[in-house]
Amino acid sequence: MKFKLLFALLFMGSATASAEQVVVQTHSISMVLNVEKGAQPQYVYFGSRLNAADLKNLSVPSGGRMDAYPAYGMNCPAEAALAMRHSDGNMSTALVATGVSYKQDGNANITIIHLKDPVYNIKVNMYYRAYNDVDMIEAWTDVKNEEKGTVTLTEFESAMLPIRRGDVWISHLYGSWANESQVSEEPLAPGEMVISNKDGARNSHTSHGEVMFSLDGKARENEGNVIGAAICYSGNYELKTVTDDTDYHYFFAGINPDNSEYHLAKGETFTTPALALTFSKEGLSGASRNFHKWGREYKLMHGNKVRDILLNSWEGVYFDINQKGMDQMMADIASMGGELFVMDDGWFGDKYPRKTDNSSLGDWVVDKNKLPDGIDGLLRDAKKHGVKFGLWIEPEMANTVSELYEKHPDWIIKAPNRDAVLGRGGTQVVLDLANPKVQDFVFGIVDNLMTKYPDLAYIKWDANMPIMNHGSQYLPMDNQSHLYIAYHRGFENVCKRIRAKYPDLVIQACASGGGRANWGVLPWFDEFWTSDNTDALQRVYMQWGTSYFFPAIAMACHISAAPNHQTQRVIPLKYRIDVAMSGRLGMEIQPKNMTEDEKALCRQAIKEYKEIRPVVQLGNIYRLQSPFEKKGVASLMYVDDAKQKAVFYWWKTETFINQHLPLIKMAGLDANKMYKVHELNRIDNKPLDCEGKSYSGEYLMSHGLEMPYNHSVDWGKQTAWSSRVLELSVE
């Protein structure tokens, strides 16, 4: 009898200690963890949504380390997600589960796994937000110090994900100023692969904080299993994939810890940025569609409202701003059907008028010599022409030649006991957003403009300098390592204040072009300037890479002059239009230098873009032929949710005699519906053979339509360039 009672008690104890299966899932994705009190949570599964029977039979995989949030110190050879120096100097940390809780957050469910160190009074929460209507899971952590003294964090990842080894490839974006978002694809090999940013202020020029893992060989666009990941952080990040002697790759993502150890005071909580994770069985484009839907619905400001077609003054006049010239440009964009005019750099400065890039940043007052009627006069002219008005600012920056710097030299980022490192124009400096007074000043720039000129519809927010010298004149010397993190906390505080007061204002994130294309920035911005390079051919490549993670509605794509101001390449207007129409269409040109025929072509393009704008900006992307595969052509398309309308793009990327281009098969259509074809932006003397005809979705997806390699135009108008935009509509 005693034996039976002892067995029963042992059985009850075993049942109490057994792991709880924690299932985090969206409509099409499941993430499964086993959580046992007193042990580290274990990853079990991440992929397509599982049914009840499969969930019941899952077990923790063997052949790898499945710890969901490994800490440093008790298994030193393995990579850690969290590392710290405790208040007594101990560098080891152990984390075990204490329980799981759940809560509703709007249209999402949040799962919280609670951890603690059994010896030290450190508590960690792992968060997973799963959306009900989009296939995205966001993961992040917070660390609370309840020790008697300060704890120093030296590693603080947002999350870790094990990925089973096999033929796994990684796709990621790299580049430079004017060459952003180039695509790199490579197989994961033993060792470490690190993608990081150390710019300080911007974070997506030379690399991107987003990756895709193709689990079954080299990535394909519309088939194959793909994991997508994006760190939602505006500052320095680090993405690290570790491949050792186990059966798994280990993917870590979070804030870059380099020179950023964080001193966590007693009672303080450190929260990491979210890592967005998705999975698709429909290749890279499928993962992209998941990011786009999630981004439009939950991240991007005004993500479901189509964007205005605008003219920006920069490449048209550069710093040569004047009242008459702005009026003329507004009249021109209005005559072509545009809806918004944006006055770029060069409009401000009193004691130091802004004539070049070496002065005046920080002095946000109108230069009355250039604009005697001020912003009021420009708003008056915009109203006269029936367009909205916006302007450019660079609020996080200053010049040493400015009234602001003369008054507040202590507001800039500068290494202690050293001269400031100067940037653009030989005088540019970065303001220290760790300082609450600087935060008030930056907020005040927007607030003062909107208070004085409430009809302002758009702001282009630029950031043209990285943090070059490490030092905060605000932070105490023993917390100088907080600079990078404190800067972006300050940036977030300012953005939240602006959006709380001005929720309807449209704001573009520009940072020497595409330096702020990141989901950590976009919750407060409507779009980003994709690149300072407006060359249409190079834009085909840059916009292709950008579309991996960001929807067309967020990508500012402008028609510019020829020869192009960056590459000096001469590309016909038709091609420039067709490339710009695949994103948020705008113009970056001096209209008075255009011929009447060119204006007429733009007028027609703008009219037709307005018809397809909802499909392009709110539709589902299907990338068909990558320019990076060097097959002489690039092609993609957008399809609306109902599969009633689609827009197909085709760009020839090179020209050779007797070249042979692949026939492009379409995707995303309803196989059983008939689609009528209409070419947009037509310049040919005769229509395409497919013009006005109807084809089944099945035919278009299994065969495709032949695209002529050249345009049928008069002899003197022939060029090496060819591009097509087709509108498909269900009959």
* Mean pLDDT value of segment 218-239: 98
- Which pLDDT band holds residue 18 (cuts at 50, 70, 90)? confident
Helix ranges, 336-464 (H): 374-385, 403-407, 436-452
| 3-class secondary structure per residue, 261-293 | CEEECCCCEEECCCEEEEEECEHHHHHHHHHHH
Helix ranges, 531-656 (H): 536-546, 573-580, 596-618
Instruction: Give the model's pLDDT for residue 352.
Output: 98
| Secondary structure of residue 327 in the 3-state scheme | helix
Q: Are strands 397-399 and 310-312 parallel, antiparallel or unpaired?
A: unpaired
Residue 228 bridge partners (DSSP): 212, 278
pLDDT in tens, 654-713: 999 999 999 999 999 999 999 999 999 999 999 999 999 999 999 999 999 999 999 999
State the CB neighbour count (10 A cutoff) for residue 421.
Answer: 18
Mean pLDDT over all residues of the chain? 96
Helix ranges, 58-158 (H): none
Instruction: Give the model's pLDDT for residue 6.
Output: 33
pLDDT exceeds 70 at position 4: no
CA 53 to chain centre: 38
Distance CA 143, CA 123 (A): 6
CA dist 18 → 11, 14, 35, 683 (Å): 10, 6, 9, 70
* Mean pLDDT value of segment 70-92: 98
Both tokens of residue 490?
């300050």
Residue 32 bridge partners (DSSP): 23, 45
Whose structure tokens read 């609450």? 436
- Which pLDDT band holds residue 327 (cuts at 50, 70, 90)? very high
Q: Are strands 555-560 and 527-529 parallel, antiparallel or unpaired?
A: parallel
Cβ neighbors of 132 (< 8 A, separation 6 or more) are 26, 27, 107, 108, 109
pLDDT exceeds 70 at position 331: yes
Cis check for the bond before 687: say yes or no (omega within 30 of 0): no
Contact 583, 556 (CB under 8 A): yes
pLDDT exceeds 70 at position 17: no
pLDDT in tens, 600-638: 999 999 999 999 999 999 999 999 999 999 999 999 999
The torsion region of residue 274 among left (phi > 0), alpha (psi -120 to 50) and beta comes to beta
Q: What sign does the dihedral 216-220-224-225 (CA atoms) show?
A: positive
- Which pLDDT band holds residue 353 (cuts at 50, 70, 90)? very high
Contact 365, 348 (CB under 8 A): yes
Contact 158, 273 (CB under 8 A): yes
pLDDT exceeds 60 at position 282: yes
pLDDT exceeds 50 at position 44: yes
Strands (E), 490-632: 506-509, 527-529, 555-560, 584-588, 620-625
Angle at 680 between CA 677 and CA 684, to 5 degrees: 100
Contact 622, 222 (CB under 8 A): yes
pLDDT in tens, 543-561: 999 999 999 999 999 999 9
| Secondary structure of residue 448 in the 3-state scheme | helix
pLDDT in tens, 457-469: 999 999 999 999 9
- Which pLDDT band holds residue 3 (cuts at 50, 70, 90)? very low
* Mean pLDDT value of segment 191-209: 98
State the CB neighbour count (10 A cutoff) for residue 565.
Answer: 17
Contact 617, 645 (CB under 8 A): no
Both tokens of residue 725?
């935009």
Q: State the Rg of the chain over Cα.
A: 27
State the CB neighbour count (10 A cutoff) for residue 595.
Answer: 9
Distance CA 348, CA 362 (A): 9
pLDDT in tens, 298-308: 999 999 999 99
Instruction: Give the model's pLDDT for residue 210.
Output: 98
Contact 87, 147 (CB under 8 A): yes
Using a 10 angstrom Cβ sphere, with 0-12 exposed, 13-18 middle and 19 or more buried, the burial of residue 60 is middle
Q: Are strands 169-174 and 182-187 parallel, antiparallel or unpaired?
A: antiparallel
> pTM above 0.95?
yes
Distance CA 369, CA 387 (A): 24
Give kind and range of the element (H or E) at residue 400: none
Contact 46, 227 (CB under 8 A): yes
Cβ neighbors of 344 (< 8 A, separation 6 or more) are 312, 313, 314, 391, 392, 460
The proportion of the chain whose per-residue pLDDT surpasses 90, expressed as a percent, equals 98
